[in-house]
Structure 1
Amino acid sequence: MASNTLTARRMFAGWGGLPGRVQAADTRRGTPTHAAPRGAGAVAFRDVAKTYRSSAGTVQALDAISLEIAPGSIFGIIGRSGAGKSSLLRTINRLEQPTSGQVLVDGVDIGTLSEAGLVQLRRRIGMIFQHFNLLSAKTVAENVALPLKVAGVPAAQIAARVQELLLLVGLQDKADTYPSRLSGGQKQRVGVARALATGPEILLCDEATSALDPETTHSILQLLRDINRTLGITVVLITHEMSVIREIADQVLVLEQGRIAELGAVWQVFGNPQHAATRALLAPLQHGLPDDLQQRLQALPPAGAYTQILQLGYRGEDGLEPDLPRIAQALGARVRLLHGGVDRIQGHAQGQLLVALEGAAARADWTSFTQGREAIAHEIKVLGYVAESVHPH
């Protein structure tokens, strides 16, 4: 499949898009270039607000949203239910009209576009949905072909394009299959192929993996990352799963009640969350104290032999990473690793380690071990004490 995918990439790169859209070949490399034109796919929000009004009252879905999405990046939007994620995403292709403010795509205020201009805009923006939105009475190939038929592309060109796209997403043998015979992951791959049909510069993903199991989610995220890197398409995705953001995004926006809670590089937001909403969303990914150890934990040192339980935190800053021999040497006692985990996000080590330290070396304040060149962690917390009569493991 890898060689087929590579071939499809090359074929896809030569797609000139819809009638009137011309792409030039890069004669220096001998490779045609659809990959989105350099610099294409930039999105900017300028003080965007969205208010919904109904007989039940007024809801402020978005409030004072100002930010920029770099062309060719993967930008994640996360928040709890009702945070405004879908409303914000849908302003990019003007499925939602902001109540106030501006949304700019490649520097153009899309609120000023005519109906014809809006049609052209939407052909430059693909969209993938949570529940696939495939037509059950049409085959895989027919579903992928729909945007091209609507755009008036000649039949022969549609057939060639559909074949390229199915090869790209690994479904070249499913062209004549109906959606009911596909797995969830295969259905979403059809959705990806359909979203790419018109050669978009921006790809919007509306909870694209929420209906999938973890293994299939990983494969779809790999596909999206591959498309982003190979074709230079800007990917904007919304999700309620921090694990999705961690795996694929370059930048992340955390929304809370329609406002920006946090915004920045994924490794920075994950490594040092500032807002309560971000910390709540990250909580399922944290390696907390195991229940059996929590039950034995005491706030004060017990009588007799005991161990002190420390939590060492790593934010991905300053190149500081866990180094167990160095930790043991610095603490001056035997150290047992109890629990925890460290991930690498965009080249930065982040996470927590829980360690047990012999009572003779215990102290209440470990701040000096988090500062300067001798630091062994960005943060050290004393979680409590465990009597040695019950061996913690």
Structure 2
Amino acid sequence: MTPFLNIERPKPTAFVAAGQGHAPAAPAASEPPDVLPAAGTVVFEGVGKTYQAASGPVHALRGIDLTVPAGGIFGIIGRSGAGKSSLLRTINRLERPSEGRVRVDGQDVGELDENGLVGLRRRIGMIFQHFNLLSAKTVWDNVALPLVVAGVPKQEIRQRVGELLDLVGLEGKHSVRPGRLSGGQKQRVGIARALVHRPEILLCDEATSALDPETTQSILKLLRDINRRLGLTIVLITHEMSVIREICDQVLVLEGGRAVEIGPVWQVFGNPIHDATRALLQPLVHDLPDDLRGRLSVDPPASGPHAQVIELRYTGEAGIEPDLARIGAALGAPARLLYGGIDRIQGHTHGRLVIAVAGATASAEDLVARGIAHHSRVLGHVAIDD
């Protein structure tokens, strides 16, 4: 019997998308028509979902076309009611599309009979926001239950459950009941249970929304480790951009059931195109401190020395990174850092700097023209001491 952790998965394929949004970082290589997709590939073809409500039809999804590549971590984000859960649940057919098709490894899930659907759901694990554990059963029993129902031999159940509880960091908790576990420990049980059938795909339905920030970080670290060690595809939905930034390779932004933006996380974060994306990113963007804002004036002061205040933005493109010495040399005067924040996502630098420059001989626009920053603008002027 092959140990659970010795699964070998294919390498992630290139990201492919259709519709609005960022272009993929690199196009997917074409394949001969007789080559099957890598295990864990999900394709949405014109997917729509309409619910019938008392007030009339509700269009939860409209014309979703995209490919989730095997072996990566794919995030779906949007505000409440954007269609995130509806889209996620079409993958294992907990929701059936009203239009279009969903293919898992080339197989149209809408065409599966009852037996085929059982097989599909054993290849697709799922974890939930509120854990969905059986309070009367122990940690061990909660994880083992899907295998017991499937008729897996007891010896194999013992091996798989033991390995999984070790994997998720629950050694010594085998006989504990859920009521004695923390929220993070309960989610670890849910993750272990979702992995018992050695799935190709793991769906995460707001898996960290009920957790505090520290516990969220530990669960995201665990999911990233599982993705790297087992090579399975992870598709997660969330309303938190910080979760997307922390763990995902690619992100889809949904608004009103439509795919409004899609691409590598660094690109979407660095240069959001759609208003919905910018709104979701707003909690991660800090305004100028009140003391600095209070000192700013639109025009230079009538008397006394002053400095021009310039905001520089970095989107991660073309390898441009902040360099205060280079900025000062280009402006012809030393640049003093007042405020800002720089982040790195997937090896790309993005963020903004707010600098003060007195006696500049070049304009803020020159910094963009010289490839020193991606965007620049003058925020105003501040008086400075002699």
Contact 2:310/2:364, CA 8 A, preserved across alignment: no
Contact 2:72/2:234, CA 8 A, preserved across alignment: yes
Shift of 1:37: 5.5
> Which amino acid counterpart does residue 332 of structure 2 have in structure 1?
G
Shift of 1:388: 2.6
> Which amino acid counterpart does residue 44 of structure 1 have in structure 2?
V
Tell me how far apart the structure 1 counterparts of residues 156 and 228 of structure 2 sit (CA, whole Å): 25
Contact 1:287/1:339, CA 8 A, preserved across alignment: no
Give the 5 Å matches for 1:36-55: 36=9, 39-55=38-54
Aligned position for 1:213: 212
Tell me how far apart the structure 1 counterparts of residues 205 and 180 of structure 2 sit (CA, whole Å): 23
Shift of 1:362: 7.4
Aligned position for 1:315: 315
In the superposition, the TM-score normalised over structure 1's length comes to: 0.88
The answer for unaligned runs of 5 or more in structure 1 is 1-9, 15-33
> Which amino acid counterpart does residue 322 of structure 1 have in structure 2?
P
Contact 1:36/1:200, CA 8 A, preserved across alignment: no
Tell me how far apart the structure 1 counterparts of residues 376 and 269 of structure 2 sit (CA, whole Å): 17
Shift of 1:273: 0.7
Give the 5 Å matches for 1:8-19: 11-14=3-6
Tell me how far apart the structure 2 counterparts of residues 361 and 139 of structure 1 sit (CA, whole Å): 69
SS of residue in 2 equivalent to 1:301 = coil
* 330-339 or 134-143: bigger deviation: 330-339
| CA deviation map 1:307-356 (0-9, x unaligned) | 22111101111111011111122122122111111111111111111111
> Which amino acid counterpart does residue 336 of structure 1 have in structure 2?
R
Aligned position for 1:348: 348
> Which amino acid counterpart does residue 182 of structure 2 have in structure 1?
S
* 303-312 or 348-357: bigger deviation: 303-312
Aligned position for 2:8: 35
> Which amino acid counterpart does residue 367 of structure 1 have in structure 2?
E
Contact 2:76/2:252, CA 8 A, preserved across alignment: yes
1:381 aligns with 2:377: yes
SS of residue in 1 equivalent to 2:155 = helix
* 294-303 or 130-139: bigger deviation: 294-303
Contact 1:12/1:164, CA 8 A, preserved across alignment: yes
Aligned position for 1:145: 144
Contact 2:337/2:353, CA 8 A, preserved across alignment: yes
Displaced runs of 4+ in structure 1, greater than 3 A? Answer: 35-38
Contact 1:110/1:118, CA 8 A, preserved across alignment: yes
- Compute the RMSD of aligned alpha carbons: 1.6
Shift of 1:209: 0.9
What is the percentage of aligned positions where both structures have the same residue? Answer: 65
Aligned position for 1:76: 75
1:229 aligns with 2:228: yes
Tell me how far apart the structure 2 counterparts of residues 334 and 287 of structure 1 sit (CA, whole Å): 25
Shift of 1:120: 0.3
Contact 1:129/1:191, CA 8 A, preserved across alignment: yes
Tell me how far apart the structure 1 counterparts of residues 204 and 310 of structure 2 sit (CA, whole Å): 40
Aligned position for 1:282: 281
1:370 aligns with 2:368: yes
Contact 2:311/2:352, CA 8 A, preserved across alignment: yes
Shift of 1:206: 0.5
Q: How many residues align?
A: 358
* 374-383 or 201-210: bigger deviation: 374-383
Tell me how far apart the structure 1 counterparts of residues 106 and 228 of structure 2 sit (CA, whole Å): 23
